[in-house]
Structure 1
Amino acid sequence: MSEYQYYEFAAIDRPLTRSEMAELRAISTRAVISPHRFTNHYEWGDLKADPADWMRDYFDAFVYSTNWGSCHLSLRLPATAFHKAQLRPFITRTTLAVKSSNAHWILDWTLDDSENEDRFAEDDGSGWMRRLMPLRDELLRGDLRPLYLGWLAAGAALDDDAKEPDVPPGLAALSPAQQALVEFLEIDPDLLQAASAGTAASMPGGDDGAKRMTAWLDTWQTPDMKDVLTKLALGQGRDAERQVTSHYAAWLKARQPVVVDVPRRRMAVLRELAQSAAAVRQAREAKAQARREAKRRSQHDATLRRLMAAPHESWKTIDALAARGTATGYDQAMRLLVELAEAYALVFNREAFNHELQRFLVPHAKRGALLRRLADAGLWSV
């Protein structure tokens, strides 16, 4: 596996200016830079800057991946999106960090020292930004599931007495971006199953989006609507979208049902539930494997029975292949002989096959390479 580090930054709320792009170009001459992107794939060297500084100054999203099994996701959101008290319960020492600036929150999800070597050998990091970026919009809409997943990813490092944050609704039906975060952080699927057990089935309001939207619009005051339309007319579309998103998220939060006296589980309880979930999953997978094996065996037996409908044709083919006197011919003949031996055992018996094999070998008795292959396959004793 060759060494690499992959950096990708995205500017979402506003594009980079020419001056800012020039500043980035002065730091990296090989990077691909546009008003909305910075990407670079290092096979030697490193980025000569601190990504945290760039997230404060330029970008709204950052993905980092390396061949040695570490990856990182950062998202920058307006400071108005959350109160600090909302974020604090999800913070861990290892997987989810929260930083703040004057105008933003910066959320960092981290996976260090993955043991999945195949993943990082095959994945150069370039596909994660597209899959993970929708998390930012989900968080702006008040969806806390990405934060809970960040806490859950630290499961192995948490003490048994550590208590989980309040479990957000919909944990059992993750969005595609949230499922990508599960893969990105390599969250134990059994632990996720345990965490989602008994939680609210869906986000507030269910799937009736049109009715929710109509009810929300009825609450808007005329000055608020005029302000949004003015921003759109002045070309400030992203500011208008952020204002609408923030207003809608606040309305949704206000409509969330108040759940009283829901116990927060200790990590020890979640681990016990995960073990039970693993047992259920393994039993389910074993049944599925048994069904697949039975289907494969049935199909294989059907193939063998078709061979026995005209076994003389198979013997003619095998004889012609052996007569070539080549290694390729012998190998092809052996594959057919092994299959034919199974067919005879299924339909007749092995003695019938051995009798036909002796007849076949009469003209080929001096083909040592063929006989050795037969012996290796257990079809003939030299």
Structure 2
Amino acid sequence: MKPLLLGIDWATLQAAGDTLILDIARDEVELDEDWDDGSGWLAALAPFRADLLAGDLRLFYLLWLGAVESDGLGDDEIEPMGGFGPLTGALGTFAEFFGIDPDLVEAAADHHEAAPATSPDAARAVIAAMTDREKTDLLTRLFDGEPHISAELRALVRTRLGVHYAGLSSGTRTAGELRSRARAIRLARDRVKAEKAAADRRRQAEDTEKARIAWIEAVARRGEGAWQEVEAEIERRNAAGYDKAASLLFDLRTTAEIRGTLAEFGQRLHGIRERHARKERFIERLTTMGESRQSL
């Protein structure tokens, strides 16, 4: 398993008697605002020990991907396993916890070799062929409550059947190919995101335009009533009334433009300006609104 740790300075594997100790500490991972004290991750990461005992070494593939991401390995380095996916919940959580590039993980999971299935009959034959001493040892440890005895038994059965589950079979892709695939995944996602944002903007603009047209049509249907409302709002002699009158005049101008009656609109607007010329605040608002939208 040590070849899987080449180029990785944040994971070490050492022996302590019959036990292998894997120490993983990636101090450079940046914490975000949603970071917790780690208690929320423990349950999701717990299956790793059982998976390792059962012969699933894909955890080491993720560590290798970490070295690929940090440029600890050259582009010509061959992936250590012939297959990686499909991604399990525990593997996904590990990658997220240690900040491994999700696009690189997806690139690695794109291709995998299916693990040969172990039939119940084949497993039964292997277990039946075990010595009495082996069976007694396994049952005693099961009785004593060892939590991972079932995983160890499955690994033992697979070994005796010659089945290698996510083990060190030779891979075919290089680190450079995985980096390229990760970039392609990232670009594709960004393109989809940009297209969605553009579609949302177009839809919002269309909705805004539909609402504007509906309002203008409503103003047009009011006919003379709209002009009377303009006069009524002006006579309120306050800022709110002046603003509403100016806005309504802008809508009337748009309606006239659509109908081809701008000349008539201009005459009526000229009359309003003359009648209310002494209302300087209204004329000022009328001028300001005309400059910010179109000439009034």
Query: What TM bracket, shorter-length normalisation?
Result: 0.5 to 0.7
Change (3 A) 1:132 1:261: closer
Structure 1 residue 371 displacement after superposition: 8.6
Structure 1: distance between partners of 2:217 and 2:83: 60
Name the residue aligned to 1:157: 71
Aligned length: 259
Partners of 1:87 and 1:98 within 8 A in 2: yes
Structure 1: distance between partners of 2:258 and 2:58: 61
Name the residue aligned to 1:92: 7
Partners of 2:82 and 2:170 within 8 A in 1: no
Structure 1 residue 153 displacement after superposition: 1.0
Name the residue aligned to 2:151: 245
2:52 to 126, 134, 139: 139
After superposition, the C-alpha distances for 1:139-184 in whole angstroms (9 at most, x for unaligned) are 222222111111111222314266244225233x211121112212
Structure 1: distance between partners of 2:258 and 2:89: 54
Structure 1 residue 226 displacement after superposition: 5.1
Name the residue aligned to 2:80: 166
After superposition, the C-alpha distances for 1:95-132 in whole angstroms (9 at most, x for unaligned) are 32223312422223333334x5xx52331233222322
2:123 to 216, 219, 231: 216
Partners of 1:166 and 1:264 within 8 A in 2: no
Name the residue aligned to 2:20: 105
Name the residue aligned to 1:195: 108
Structure 1 residue 185 displacement after superposition: 2.2
Change (3 A) 1:379 1:100: farther
Larger RCO of the pair (alpha carbons < 8 Å, separation 6+): 2
Structure 1: distance between partners of 2:11 and 2:170: 26
TM-score, normalising length: structure 1: 0.50
Change (3 A) 1:272 1:375: same
TM-score, normalising length: structure 2: 0.62
Change (3 A) 1:226 1:289: farther
Partners of 1:89 and 1:165 within 8 A in 2: no
Structure 2: distance between partners of 1:133 and 1:259: 23
Secondary structure class of the residue paired with 1:113: coil
Partners of 2:123 and 2:157 within 8 A in 1: yes
Structure 1 residue 273 displacement after superposition: 3.9
Name the residue aligned to 1:255: 163
Structure 2: distance between partners of 1:217 and 1:134: 25
Structure 2: distance between partners of 1:146 and 1:138: 9
Partners of 2:48 and 2:90 within 8 A in 1: yes
Quick one: which amino acid aligns to residue 164 of structure 2? Q
Unaligned 5+ segments in structure 2 are: none
Partners of 1:144 and 1:168 within 8 A in 2: no
Structure 2: distance between partners of 1:106 and 1:248: 21
Secondary structure class of the residue paired with 1:111: coil
Larger radius of gyration: 2
Name the residue aligned to 1:120: 32
From the two aligned structures, give the one with the greater strand fraction: 1
Secondary structure class of the residue paired with 2:32: helix
Name the residue aligned to 1:52: none
Change (3 A) 1:306 1:147: farther
Superposed CA RMSD in Å reads: 4.8
